[in-house]
Amino acid sequence: MNIFGKSVPFYKMQGCGNDFVVIDNREIGVPESVMDMWAQKICSRAFGVYADGLFFLENSDDPALDYRWHFYNSDGSRAEMCGNASRCAGKLAHAIELAPAEHTFGTDAGPIKAQVLLEGPNRGRVKVQLTPPVGTETNIKIDIDNQPMTIHFADTGVPHVVVFVDDIEALDIMDLGPKIRYHDHFAPAGTNVNFAQVKDENTMLLRTYERGVEAETYACGTGAAAAQLIANKLGLTDDYADLTTTGNEVLTIFLEDGNIFLQGAAELTFKGDLFLEPLDLKADGIPSLTQDCVGCGWCCLTDPCMDSHRKYGYMRRCPDLFWDEDKSRYMCAMMLDPEIGEQVKKSQHAGQGCYAPRNSWREDVRNRDDDK
């Protein structure tokens, strides 16, 4: 019984505590023009799913890519890249047979190579090759609260400041993070801010204030990459390092021949259906959600509506559903009733498209009453 209206399936994933809602957009077809609003609504705490970001997976026209994504932060801002989300994308794409275990997908930062590790001690983890870093600069001098500060910068898909500290636990990240994130030196786009404590040549601790989330997050893959890149450039670490994040997860960063590789966990935590009306999202412009009813009977034969239950009680098959031989489709007698028809049409969203546009019955409309 569907009393909540139209819905779309979704996945909830997390990479080292950085959590994301994922929508397989191949059949649903959410237009890019409304994706930012969907991110704001769906990632909202209490009224949505609550997440750090939302990304859509789609087929790509580029033969060099297995698929492409559209990534949005929880505030609706579009991001060029997200390291932790890229591992989630790679693992889910393989799981839903969108791509093989080793593949390449498109982002606004450029193509990303992903490998789902299927054997050995790192089985289940995902390794991604990030886009080449740009704009790397060390020992930048800025003033914060009229005090000089030395920071470093690298764009590892998105812009990152790196600040090395002696005691990462004592840091007030919600005070210092925004002051660097919005500093004039990085205007107008702003920057992510990472605070790193080097323990030895292969080990760091990391805390990240993320642009777009506007808070500390449990982990940031591209931030970890930037921290390792800068630390290595300053002679503080070797070509690989394990970075322990706020979420107490470990991200491994490899520097190989000028390339950056990020390896870490990516987990599917749950999946379900997003109901559009409670989220104040519209189906307008989404072909898969606005397909006309073809009278296949899927809704009424498998899950009668509340109007049917009120009239007849909880029955497996609604007595008011009938097969119209002339029209070769199922019809609803209640909707045709001159006294209650308009009310039933309104409550069942008649004329607003199919409840289940991806069900197989739509392609095989026939009288199913004699089916065993």
194 and 306 fall within a common domain = no
Q: Is residue 262 part of a domain?
A: no
Catalytic residue list contains 82: yes
Supply the pTM of this predicted model.
0.74
* CATH number (domain holding residue 178): 3.10.310.10
Catalytic residue list contains 354: no
How much of the chain exceeds pLDDT 90, in percent?
76
User: What are 33-84's pLDDT values in tens digits?
Assistant: 999 999 999 999 889 999 999 999 999 999 999 999 999 999 999 999 999 9
14 and 126 fall within a common domain = yes
234 and 346 fall within a common domain = no
Q: Is residue 213 part of a domain?
A: yes
Task: Provide the greatest CA pair distance for the chain.
Answer: 82
Whole-number pLDDT of residue 372: 58
User: How large is the angle between the packed helices 221-233 and 83-95, nearest 10 degrees?
Assistant: 130
Of the given ranges (243-252, 262-271, 309-318), which has the lowest mean pLDDT? 309-318
Rounded Cα distance, 347 and 343, in Å: 6
Q: Is residue 261 part of a domain?
A: no
57 and 123 fall within a common domain = yes
Q: Kindly name the residue from 16, 43, 82, 293 that is annotated as catalytic.
A: 82
205 and 319 fall within a common domain = no
Whole-number pLDDT of residue 6: 81
Give strand ranges (E) for 249-347.
250-256, 259-264, 267-275, 321-324, 329-332
Residue 348: closest CA among 311, 89, 368, 326: 311
Q: How confident is the model at residue 2 (pLDDT cuts 50, 70, 90)?
A: low
Whole-number pLDDT of residue 15: 92
Provide mean pLDDT across the span 90-99. 97
> How many domains in the chain?
3
127 and 31 fall within a common domain = yes
User: What are 26-35's pLDDT values in tens digits?
Assistant: 988 999 999 9
> What is the Cβ-side half-sphere exposure of residue 163, based on CA atoms within 13 angstroms?
26
Whole-number pLDDT of residue 189: 92
Whole-number pLDDT of residue 299: 81
97 and 157 fall within a common domain = no
Query: ∠ at Cα 361 (353, 271), nearest 5°?
Result: 75
Q: Are strands 329-332 and 321-324 parallel, antiparallel or unpaired?
A: antiparallel
Q: Is residue 259 part of a domain?
A: no
Q: How confident is the model at residue 216 (pLDDT cuts 50, 70, 90)?
A: very high
Q: Is residue 368 part of a domain?
A: no
Place of tokens 């000028």: 258
143 and 51 fall within a common domain = no
Q: Which domain holds residue 172?
A: 134-253
Q: Which amino acid is at 109?
A: A
DSSP H or E stretch at residue 185: none
Q: Kindly name the residue from 16, 43, 88, 220 that is annotated as catalytic.
A: 220
CB 229 within 8 A of CB 260: yes
Whether the CA torsion 63, 67, 70, 71 is positive or negative: it is negative
Provide mean pLDDT across the span 167-176. 96
H helices of the chain, in order, are 25-28, 35-42, 83-95, 173-181, 221-233, 298-302, 306-312, 333-336, 341-347
User: Which residues have C-beta within 8 Å of that of residue 275, sequence separation ≥ 6?
Assistant: 4, 5, 6, 7
- Pair of tokens at residue 205: 């601790």
User: What are 290-348's pLDDT values in tens digits?
Assistant: 777 899 998 888 778 888 888 888 888 889 999 999 999 999 999 999 999 998 888 77
Q: How confident is the model at residue 352 (pLDDT cuts 50, 70, 90)?
A: low
Provide mean pLDDT across the span 136-165. 96
Whole-number pLDDT of residue 300: 85
Answer with the residue of higher pLDDT: 3 or 328.
328
SS3 107: strand
Q: How confident is the model at residue 243 (pLDDT cuts 50, 70, 90)?
A: very high
138 and 214 fall within a common domain = yes
